[in-house]
């Protein structure tokens, strides 16, 4: 577990990704990765301090975890990045889920020492495909994430 957010950490994600990839190869069940990044996180740390940034990370992790099914998986990938694995989910359904999550987090109404702190997320989504390696599917999600950030943030793109 990640010590700060209490969600699984990067190593747990790496292990789970391999398991889900093997399951995908055997059963060909739709499986999707969503890569998330908190928009302008450095500005939150710079403006309000690292304690506020830590609180934002915990709130985002709790919010992400509360919005997925028990069969899905969430991990803190590193820094202000999180990753989800959604099994039995089509890319279009994953996009709808991601948009709902993004909108909910944008409405959290987080305050630190009485000051409102806006929180938004960008997301990149990619489905497992025949012939993929686990790294391929993550790389596509990561590229979609960076396109979302480059196009103005606070949006989700499907690779």
- What is the set of active-site residues? 80
Residue 131 DSSP label? T
Q: What gap in Å lies between CA 144 and CA 122, rounded to an integer?
A: 9
| Among 124, 116, 101, 123, residue whose Cα is nearest residue 56 | 116
Measure CA of the first residue to CA of the last residue in the chain; give whole Å: 29
Which residues fall within 8 angstroms of residue 77, CB to CB, at 6 or more apart? 10, 13, 35, 83
């Amino acid at each position: 577990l990640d010590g700060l957010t209490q969600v699984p950490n990067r190593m747990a994600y790496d292990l789970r990704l391999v398991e889900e990839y093997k399951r995908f190869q055997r059963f060909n069940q739709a499986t999707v990765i969503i890569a998330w990044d908190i928009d302008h996180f450095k500005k939150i740390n710079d403006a309000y301090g690292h304690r506020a940034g830590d609180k934002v990370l915990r709130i985002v992790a709790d919010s992400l975890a509360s919005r997925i099914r028990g069969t899905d998986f969430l991990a803190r990938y590193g820094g202000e990045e999180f990753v989800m694995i959604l099994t039995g989910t089509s890319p279009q359904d994953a996009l709808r889920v991601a948009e709902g999550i993004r909108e909910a987090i944008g409405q959290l109404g987080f305050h630190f020492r009485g000051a409102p702190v806006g929180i938004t997320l960008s997301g990149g989504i990619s489905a497992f495909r025949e012939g993929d390696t686990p790294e391929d599917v993550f790389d596509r999600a990561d590229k979609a994430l960076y396109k979302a950030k480059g196009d103005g943030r606070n949006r989700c793109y499907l690779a």
